[in-house]
Amino acid sequence: MDRQSVNQDTKTRIAECFKALVVEKGFEKLKVREITDRAGLTRPTFYTYFKDKYEIIEYIFETEVAEPVRPFLDKGFLRESVLYFLVQLEKDKAFYREIAQFEGQNSFADCLRRTAVDGVRRYMGDKIKSQERGLYTTENMARYFSAMVEFIVVRWLRQRDPELTTNMAMEIYDLLMMKSPYDLLNGNI
């Protein structure tokens, strides 16, 4: 096995052990020592691959969620990319639910926001460049849309109601995309 494969296998092992421990113990109380013990690695080996447990969240989110969604965005399938995004999270919902509880710098919401902003920029490309003026810019639209996606995803994950399905989250997405804020505030759904 070549060096790159060994490195990737080690990162994957750390990430899988981290995910299992987060589900078992929660994120806040989890120590690097517990991750390395579960993975059968030394602390220096852990720090070769990740600077801290927050970086593992970014790695997992990037490899399991962000990367698989990009081809949909590159083809112009915005709604499908959000649906696939939710489906990817659903595969390991217990883990994502736990890390969605944590707020602050380097949180899941931060990862989600950065990914959504990047995704909307990719989707929009130069579509509105000729029409940009004032607050109507690609960057502002990307931030606005990412705030909406973050709102939906984080609240969907934080809900403990098993009846709140991926399809229900998509219904909210569709509602927020298709109706104006004025319509929503006046109950015109």
pLDDT in tens, 53-65: 999 999 999 999 9
pLDDT by residue (tens digit) across 19-74? Answer: 999 999 999 889 999 999 999 999 999 999 999 999 999 999 999 999 999 999 88
- The model carries a pTM of 0.85
Spatial separation of the C-alpha atoms in residues 15 and 26, rounded to whole Å: 15
Q: Which helix (H) or strand (E) holds 144?
A: helix 138-158
Q: How is residue 123 written in tokens? A: 């989707």
How confident is the prediction along the chain (189 residues), in pLDDT tens digits per residue?
A: 666 666 789 999 999 999 999 999 999 889 999 999 999 999 999 999 999 999 999 999 999 999 999 999 888 898 999 999 999 999 999 999 999 988 877 788 988 998 889 888 888 877 787 888 899 888 898 999 999 999 999 989 988 777 778 888 899 889 988 988 888 888 888
- What three-state secondary structure class fits 67? helix
| C-alpha pair distances (Å), 170 with each of 56, 84, 87 | 27, 10, 10
DSSP state of 134: T
pLDDT at 3: 65
Q: Say whether 45 sits in a helix, a strand or coil.
A: helix
**Between 1.20.1260.10, 1.10.10.60, 3.40.50.720, 2.60.40.1180, what CATH number should domain 3-50 receive?**
1.10.10.60
**Residue 164 CB partners (closer than 8 Å, separation 6+):** 156
Domain ranges within the chain, ordered by starting residue? 3-50, 54-185
Q: Residue 45 has what pLDDT?
A: 95
